Amino acid sequence: MLELQTPSDLLAHVGQTLGSSEWFTIEQRHLDGFAELTGDDFWIHVDTERAGREMPGGKTIAHGLFVLSLVPRLQRSIFRVARRGKGLNYGSDRVRYTAPVPVGSRVRLHQTLKAAERVGAATRMTTVCEFEIEGQTRPALVAEFILLLQDE
């Protein structure tokens, strides 16, 4: 894990790989909960019987937005800023869902720091986020994720 003291320490890491997260297993309960929360209850995500008959591999697949929503959770095992104020999700750019994630798959996040700049009393960072699916060469998702970390 990359340990930084302040948000401005990120400036020294632009263009570098920050690291890879721990593995996370996609479970049906995650998909069911996400479907209930968002209303995206399309059968490919929640109907295990139908998916068993009609989906390649016979499994439901994760919502793309669910996988994207794992960035904050998984980046906690990639880097840590010891002395910081609040962090604000500033947005996402160039989000691409490049491969389905079947239930039961393990994914992990790889992050590279594309850009970092001081904005007042904060550092705005842009990371390239790539979700690896264990055992596959094609990533599940590639996106730029923008985070604003305020100073203490």
Rounded Cα gap, residues 116 and 2, in angstroms: 16
| Single pTM value for the model | 0.93
* pLDDT tens across the length of the chain (152 residues): 999 999 999 999 999 999 999 999 999 999 999 999 999 999 999 999 999 999 999 999 999 999 999 999 999 999 999 999 999 999 999 999 999 999 999 999 999 999 999 999 999 999 999 999 999 999 999 999 999 999 99
Q: Is 74 helix (H, G, I), strand (E, B) or coil?
A: helix
> Which sequence spans correspond to the domains of the chain?
2-150
What are the tokens at 137?
Answer: 């060469």
Which CATH number applies to 2-150: 3.10.129.10, 2.40.100.20, 3.40.50.720, 3.10.20.30?
A: 3.10.129.10
Report how far apart, in Å, the C-alpha atoms of 81 and of each of 5, 110, 117, 134 are: 5, 18, 16, 28
